[in-house]
């Protein structure tokens, strides 16, 4: 097959602007309420048609290059569902920090579902993709939507918000992975029956107006993640201090960590925070929020025109 058959699609990262753990469900998962936000930090996924079988390659050595890769599993689930006999070669150019709470694997899975649905001309409904996505991971349905969205249930019931957050972000990867399962078991150990907090609802009902609303938000997993990794707690203290000093409206852990981020309305402040953290030796990314509309447009651009015969 020639390179002309290849198609490269974007796979964006997310942060959780807020995350509330409401309790444990009868199926063992946690009942969450979270505010998702896509950012323009992205992996690139290149898809090439093959006569049969799925192959996977990734530029990051820490990501599995076999059937356990979420992008591989996404392609396989679509093939099974739609009884496709053709194959695909998948290459992932990783830029999203791995195991950092930025949803890289889930985003890759959603990107493969959306791209192959189009390239294989399956024309499956969004709710079919949603169903396949849910089985791959709780964050996958969100990446089928993107932008600023409320996640309920396991985080897999996704409601895009009318008003989309527009901000500059500084993401810091402390380079110290934390196990998501270990963080949740710590939360469970400390989860006494309590009043549910309503900060995300209050944030949403303020219609995202003004910077002060960000003060309402926090991540219920942060304390547990920092208890799980006391060395990380010290590092996070420094990161947080710098972000706040430089004027972040919100500084928080994303998901179960260990990426930490600051939200800024002023690009100059974001630039200064980025420079200060980079000079302290941290791996830092400066990025912007991506609205629902921008997310859709990026996808429309990537998959807009397909004439290549070998995908038929």
Binding site for ligand ATP (CB under 6 A): 63-64, 69-71, 92, 98-106, 108, 137, 180, 255-256
Residue 94: helix, strand or coil by DSSP?
Answer: coil
Quick one: 208 or 295, whose CB is closer to ligand ATP?
295
Quick one: 101 or 147, whose CB is closer to ligand ATP?
101
Burial of 170 (0-12, 13-18, 19+ CB in 10 A): buried
Nearest-approach distance from CB 203 to ligand ATP, in angstroms: 22
Burial of 125 (0-12, 13-18, 19+ CB in 10 A): exposed
Distance CA 252, CA 15 (A): 9
- Residue 145 vs residues 85, 246, 300, 301: alpha-carbon distances, Å: 28, 32, 13, 16
Catalytic site residue 14? yes
Q: What is the DSSP letter of 198?
A: -
Quick one: 10 or 101, whose CB is closer to ligand ATP?
101
Nearest-approach distance from CB 109 to ligand ATP, in angstroms: 7
Per the DSSP assignment, residues forming a β-bridge with 158 are 151
From the list 14, 156, 173, 220, the catalytic residue is 14
Quick one: 45 or 204, whose CB is closer to ligand ATP?
45
Quick one: 24 or 310, whose CB is closer to ligand ATP?
24
From the list 43, 139, 173, 220, the catalytic residue is 139
Catalytic site residue 94? no
Nearest-approach distance from CB 177 to ligand ATP, in angstroms: 7
- Residue 11 vs residues 5, 111, 237, 277, 302: alpha-carbon distances, Å: 19, 6, 30, 25, 11
- Residue 178 vs residues 151, 224, 256: alpha-carbon distances, Å: 22, 10, 7
Strands 260-264 and 168-173: antiparallel
Q: Active-site positions? A: 14, 139
């Amino acid at each position: 097959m020639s390179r002309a058959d290849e198609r490269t699609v974007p796979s964006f990262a997310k942060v959780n602007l807020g995350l509330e753990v409401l309790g444990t469900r009868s199926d063992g998962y946690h009942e969450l309420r979270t505010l998702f936000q896509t950012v323009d930090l992205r992996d690139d996924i290149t898809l090439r048609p093959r006569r049969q079988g799925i192959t996977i390659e990734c530029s990051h050595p820490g990501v599995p290059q076999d059937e356990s890769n979420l992008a591989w599993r996404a392609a396989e689930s679509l093939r099974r569902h739609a009884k496709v006999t053709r194959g695909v070669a998948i290459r992932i150019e990783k830029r999203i920090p791995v195991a950092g709470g930025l949803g890289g694997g889930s985003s890759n899975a959603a990107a493969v579902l959306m791209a192959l649905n189009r390239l294989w001309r399956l024309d499956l409904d969004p709710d079919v993709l949603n169903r396949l996505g849910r089985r791959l991971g709780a964050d996958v349905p969100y990446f089928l939507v993107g932008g600023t969205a409320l996640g309920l249930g396991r985080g897999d019931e996704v409601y895009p918000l009318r008003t989309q957050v527009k901000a500059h972000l500084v993401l810091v990867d402390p380079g110290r992975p934390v196990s998501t399962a270990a963080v949740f078991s710590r939360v469970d150990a400390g989860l006494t029956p309590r009043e549910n907090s309503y900060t995300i609802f209050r944030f949403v009902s303020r219609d995202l107006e003004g910077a002060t609303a960000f003060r309402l938000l926090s991540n219920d997993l942060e304390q547990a993640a920092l208890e799980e990794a006391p060395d990380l707690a010290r590092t996070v203290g420094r990161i947080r201090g710098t972000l706040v000093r430089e004027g972040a409206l919100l500084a928080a852990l994303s998901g179960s960590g260990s990426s930490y981020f600051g939200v800024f309305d002023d690009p100059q402040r974001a630039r200064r925070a980025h420079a200060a953290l980079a000079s302290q030796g941290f791996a830092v990314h400066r990025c912007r929020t991506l609205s629902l509309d921008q997310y859709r447009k990026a996808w429309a651009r990537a998959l807009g025109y397909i004439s290549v015969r070998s995908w038929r």
